Chains A and B, each alone.
Chain A
Amino acid sequence: AQRVTQPEKLLSVFKGAPVELKCNYSYSGSPELFWYVQYSRQRLQLLLRHISRESIKGFTADLNKGETSFHLKKPFAQEEDSAMYYCALSVGSGGSNYKLTFGKGTLLTVNP
């Protein structure tokens, strides 16, 4: 079975500092990895997905199959980045259905 591990429950950085949220996964096939973000009192929303290879709000994430990791990085954190971040892995479950398995999340706090 697939598993997503986010080793840090809490991460606190100062504004302007680099930030890296760690995500490791276990899955025997070819996974698709996502980062979702939940700002305070808001719904979960997609931040980025590995196949897009894009930067959203200054965040990037590279899939490293050798290390089975998909760490989320931003060179200069902003206060508005404070949120809960979830790493998720998608597995096809038949037909066009794709189930998401979520990590436990990392609460990022960016201090002024």
Chain B
Amino acid sequence: GAVVSQHPSWVICKSGTSVKIECRSLDFQATTMFWYRQFPKQSLMLMATSNEGSKATYEQGVEKDKFLINHASLTLSTLTVTSAHPEDSSFYICSAQQARNIQYFGAGTRLSVL
């Protein structure tokens, strides 16, 4: 099946620094990738839709300047959490859309901001 790699799996950073998370589709091209956030014991909340070669579409309430998304190639999307603060600590998950309406998920990145 299709594989989506997400890196790093866990990152700890100091408050005020920026963190970049990578999402790669390993064996297929994905013009569309998605970024989710998951709080403990809660469901996945869609943050933004990332389209290759164009600007990401953010969900209501998600700060685009805070969560920068770049989808420069058909196999790579990145999420940068800028000037991270403790309230940004969370589990971030990406997915890549293969065929119509099929999303394959990365293993997630746990971000801890001190």
> Which of A's residues lie within 8 Å of B, judged by CB?
32, 42-46, 49, 86, 90, 93, 96-105
Q: State in angstroms the CA–CA spacing of A97 and B55 once bound together.
A: 14
Nearest Cβ distance between residue B94 and chain A, in whole angstroms? 10
Nearest Cβ distance between residue A56 and chain B, in whole angstroms? 12
Q: State in angstroms the CA–CA spacing of A103 and B44 once bound together.
A: 8
Nearest Cβ distance between residue B2 and chain A, in whole angstroms? 10
Q: Give the residues in chain B near A103, CB-CB below 8 Å.
A: 43
Question: Are B57 and A43 interface neighbours, CB within 8 A?
Answer: no
Question: Are B43 and A86 interface neighbours, CB within 8 A?
Answer: yes
Question: Are A104 and B42 interface neighbours, CB within 8 A?
Answer: yes
B interface, size bucket: 20 to 34
Q: Which residue of A lies closest to B103 (CB)?
A: A100
Q: Give the residues in chain B near A102, CB-CB below 8 Å.
A: 43-45
- Of listed A44, A86, A96, residue having the most chain B CB within 10 A: A44
Interface residue? B46 (CB, 8 A) = yes
Q: Contacts A46-B102, A98-B97, A98-B100 known; A93 to B57 CB distance under 8 Å?
A: yes
Question: Are A101 and B101 interface neighbours, CB within 8 A?
Answer: no
Q: Give the residues in chain A near B44, CB-CB below 8 Å.
A: 44, 86, 100, 102
Given contacts A96-B31, A96-B100, A102-B44, 8 further A-B contacts (CB under 8 A): A86-B44, A98-B97, A99-B49, A100-B44, A100-B95, A102-B43, A104-B43, A105-B43
Question: Are B49 and A43 interface neighbours, CB within 8 A?
Answer: no
Q: Can you list 25 A-B contacts with CB-CB less than 8 angstroms, sorted by A residue number? A: A42-B107, A43-B106, A43-B107, A44-B93, A46-B103, A46-B104, A49-B101, A49-B102, A86-B43, A86-B44, A90-B101, A93-B49, A93-B57, A96-B31, A96-B32, A96-B100, A97-B51, A97-B97, A98-B100, A99-B34, A100-B95, A101-B46, A102-B43, A103-B43, A104-B42
